[in-house]
Structures are given as C-alpha cells and as structure tokens.
Amino acid sequence: MKKIQMVDLQTQYQHIKAEIDRNIQDVIDSAAFIKGPIVQEFQKHLEAYTGAKHVIPVGNGTDALQIALMALGLKPGDEVITPTFTFIATAEVVALLGLKPVVVDVDWDTMNISVDAIRNAITSKTKAIVPVHLFGQCANMDAIMSIAEEHGLYVVEDACQAIGAKYTFADGTIRQAATIGHIGCTSFFPSKNLGCYGDGGAIFTNDDELANRMRAIANHGMVVRYHHEFVGVNSRLDSIQAAILDAKLPHLDEYIVARQQAAAFYDQAFEGNPYLLIPAREKQSSHVFHQYTLRLVNTDRDALRAALIEKGIPAMIYYPIPLHMQKAYNDPRYKKGDFPIAEKLAKCVLSLPMHTELDQEQLTYITQEVLNFVNNQ
C-alpha cells in the first residue's frame, strides 16, 4: 500500500507532469515572470469556469480578503460579521484594517455560519458579512443575500476551501462559490482543490467598479503607471504559479469527483455508527470536500488521532480553538461559552485524509482503523 498522506500532490503531479512542465518551461523561456501573458490566460479561463465577470489574481487568499474589504470603503470601527469557527485569516484582515470583527456561531450540522446568528449580530455599525464556505460547501447564501439586501450590507464570500462548489437558489438559479456575493475570494494554497506550487489567490466580482478598484489596490493603488489613486498593496499571482494553475484548472471537475467518491466511501463506512457523525450536506450546495471532517461522539479525539498516526494515517484538527478564544482576538465582548456550537466542534472534529489520489486499499485501511478504535474504546 502507498504511504497515506493528508494530501498527495506528488502522485497528482505525475498524472499531469507533461502539461505542468511545459507550462513552466514556457514561462522560463519567455522570462515574463511577473504579469506574464499566462496570468491573463489563466484569469480568462477561471472567469469562464466560474462564470464571474471579473477575476483578479493575487498573491494569496488572505490578500484576496484584505483587498476585497479595502475596496468597500469601510471606515475604522465599522463592523464585519464572520464565523468564529474558521481559519484565522478571515478575522485577521478585518482587524488589520481597523475594522471590528463581529464573530458569530455556526450550525452544528453543516459547521457553516448560522443565519440566525447573523441576524442577531447586526447593528447600526454593521457594514459587511463574510460567510466562510467551510470544508468545501457553500453557506446558506439564499438567506445571507436576503439579509444583506434587507440591511444594505456587503457580502464578501470566503470561498478559499470551496472553489468549484455550486449553489442552487430557491428560484433554481445555480451559481458557483465566490460568484454569489458582491465579492468572492479564494486561495490557491497547494493543498486546495485547485492549488499551485507556492502561494496564490484570486478575487471574483461581477461589479465593474469594484473590479477596477481591486485591480488598482492590488497594484499599489495604481490605475495609470505611477499615478496612485488609492492606498494599495503589492499582491500578484506570479507567472509560474499561473502556469501551474492553468494546467490544473481543466482537471478541477475530475478532482472534485475523486474527492466526492472518497467522501462517499467514508460515508458508507461510518454512517450510523454511534460514535461518528459524517459531514452533513448543505441542502442547496454541492460539496467539493476540501476536507472530510467527522464529528466524534463520546470518543477521545486525541487518543483516536494518536492511534491513527501510529498506524500511518495522518489526521488533522480543523479548528482546535475558535476565533473568540484566540489570545490575539481577546475581546471583552466575548467569553468562553458565548458560542457553544463552535466550542463543541473545536473539541470533537477530526479531519481524515482527503485528496484526489486515495485508492480503495487506502480508504479501506483508514476506515477499518477508525472503526476498530471507536468500536473497541
């Protein structure tokens, strides 16, 4: 049996080695390492794939979130609502810009941001909502967009884990993750479903004015060379990373199917077990399984994880500490116990290996070892 990894990028690379190597060599031969033509080609291909009118490639997913919020013209003290159960970057950029992160609880089943919690958190200072499409499926965007419209709020989707996920609105309209809100953001970190071999990210919008502003902000606030209209940053996707992503993008749908098949194998093995709750599906969203995350019941998570690692099976905890309990975001507004679902999830979630190259032998071994532990504890 092959070594089991959380993400197997080496084997994935071997399948598309000729395409990747050719694209990288083309960049080297052209010496157009920054803003080369391949960046624009990838941008066009990603616009076509997602249906977004504008894609702005940037340096990473965190930059994408920061630039998106900078483009909205928010003022210090303005409030931005985001879930407390997520990666730190979502709230990090809010705080860095002098805005006030307002964290809220999530749903137990989907682990996505709670619509009721959003409603309860809105004040006269609220200006934006940043829903996170956690682990690969969209949050309840029908309700979130309705709330935003009712209160005149911006919606910035954090789709860093959900590129390729599709959301079906109540009226039957289907939209891709990152193309639903006023702005969407994604990450091309190597382990993502569409990942490069370094850092990368992208911003999506259908708004011409926002697109022009974000392009300028990402390039030092410059619209015409050496004429700086905005306070900006230096964030761009380099040509070699764009070349890698452009080779991988045509395979994204097959990568998603491979992940869904692995998830289905896990589901079949674990469903109905009293110690294991399989990932619940958001009714209106497809799930692209950036992660396959179990919720454990009456089980010592750390002991299970240690047992799996001893058997050569990696397992990760996403996320062990909610944002409101992080030292960097210590806030007198929040205390332990304020967000019980997020706090409960932080104590019981465990993510299993999930990638495009898992084979039946590996999946059988992983599921057997998980079941051996929980059924004999």
Q: Using an 8 Å Cβ cutoff, are 68 and 214 in contact?
A: yes
**107-117 b/e with 16+ CB inside 10 Å = b?**
beebbbbbbeb
CA distance 360 to 241: 31
Averaged pLDDT, 171-193: 98
Token pair 């990152």 in the structure block, residue: 178
Q: Check pLDDT > 90 for residue 330.
A: no
What is the model's pLDDT at position 205? 98
Q: Check pLDDT > 90 for residue 212.
A: yes
What is the model's pLDDT at position 223? 87
pLDDT-derived band at 26, boundaries 50, 70, 90? very high
Q: Check pLDDT > 90 for residue 329.
A: no
CA distance 110 to 172: 21
For the chain, which domains are there? 9-104+111-250 (3.40.640.10), 253-375 (3.90.1150.10)
Averaged pLDDT, 86-103: 95
Token pair 């500490």 in the structure block, residue: 321
What is the model's pLDDT at position 184? 98
pLDDT-derived band at 93, boundaries 50, 70, 90? very high
Averaged confidence pLDDT in the chain = 97
Averaged pLDDT, 97-126: 98
What is the model's pLDDT at position 115? 98
pLDDT-derived band at 230, boundaries 50, 70, 90? confident
pLDDT-derived band at 126, boundaries 50, 70, 90? very high
Q: Which H or E element spans position 81?
A: strand 79-83
Give the side-chain half-sphere CA count within 13 A for 149: 8
Residue type, 36: G
Q: Check pLDDT > 90 for residue 331.
A: no
Count CB atoms within 10 A of the CB of residue 64: 34
Handedness of CA 153, 158, 163, 168 (dihedral sign): negative
What is the model's pLDDT at position 224? 87
CA distance 25 to 102: 46
Averaged pLDDT, 47-67: 98
